[in-house]
Structure 1
């Protein structure tokens, strides 16, 4: 489904972005990131995020490609309530390879990541919110089935969130990504097996 940005709003707009036939092409600003405190001690809330408001439970899906080159180049999907309560997931470049990465922030950030060893161009991410949980899945353009990445706690009292594409480049400027589609709908299911 083509991206429709009419009901979406930028947090920290990137220096370069354009819509072309329902696809969003972007280039990051210098040393942008989302992270709160843990391990590194810094607080960053200057990554680029294009969000659509959503209340209650939902399923969000996004497909994207990126020119990952430098440490921590990243693109994916964000679910955000405010600067200290959010989740981002997608591809992050670390240790010289693409990793599927999930950061959940409830005051402080945590980070889980695993290396994707097969070659791929595009990756799709699916996040389903049900009550107090975010069920996070992925599949690349070389896979037919969705795979589970994480089941994360997310405060059920935070009913109002924004959901949409996110990207950052903590070590540089000029990271390029393209978001091919985005959809936000009622939750698909509570089934995870």
Structure 2
């Protein structure tokens, strides 16, 4: 497994602590950090931690990570962002006492989809491929051999200059710890979804 590389990466809202250790990025979240826009809850936090770089056009972004999920809404994963009103985050979120694969797509207002991953796992890999007006979101745990589709989401095609990278948040506390073992970014792998 390749190491995490910090070249050309910048924090939006730096976490309480972060360090590169043995080639892995370790992150400790700040108090009540999150990304959300309006829907259902009414609030608009934009203080989650996002380590990113710029990218123009289509791409595939992939990371492998683990987290010490304990409190409601502890979360880690990938983020694609135009600005505070247009973004997508996906990965593991702790809700109802279990790890769920979660996707939030925001275009002015956030929507949230989540499903429980029933088997036990330590590491998870998450992949987002952008092709034109779509984000194809996949995951694979260390207990699986094949990638599984989580969502195919609309994302405005006129947004060509984006920030892409990893995110971690803890809306109910501080000190959630996530470990990212690698991050890969390049041209889109494929348009195939089946």
TM-score, length of structure 1 as denominator length = 0.99
Q: Secondary structure at the match of 1:34?
A: coil
Q: Offset of 1:170 from its aligned partner?
A: 0.2
Residue 177 of structure 1 corresponds to 178
> Unmatched 5+ residue regions in structure 2?
none
| 1:111-131 superposed Cα distances (whole Å, 9 cap, x missing partner) | 000000100000000000000
Q: Provide the rounded CA distance (Å) in 1 between the counterparts of 2:173 and 2:149.
A: 31
Q: Is the 8 A contact 2:18 2:26 kept in 1?
A: yes
Matches within 5 A, 1:119-158: 119-158=120-159
Aligned to 2:99: 98
For the 8 Å contact 2:29–2:169, the answer to whether it is kept is yes
* Shift, 1:22, TM fit: 2.1
Q: Distance in 1 between the 2:24 and 2:56 partners?
A: 25
Once residues 160 and 4 of structure 1 are traced to their aligned partners in structure 2, the CA distance between those partners, rounded to angstroms, is 21
Question: Secondary structure of 2:162's match?
Answer: strand
TM-score, normalised to structure 2, is 0.98
User: How far off is 1:177 after superposition?
Assistant: 0.6
Residue in structure 2 matched with residue 24 of structure 1 by the alignment: 25
TM-fit CA distance, 1:5:
1.1
1:53 alignment counterpart: 54
Q: Which runs of 4+ in 1 moved over 6 A?
A: none
CA distance in 2, matches of 1:100, 1:57: 23
SS of residue paired to 2:7? helix
Unaligned runs of 5+ in 1: none
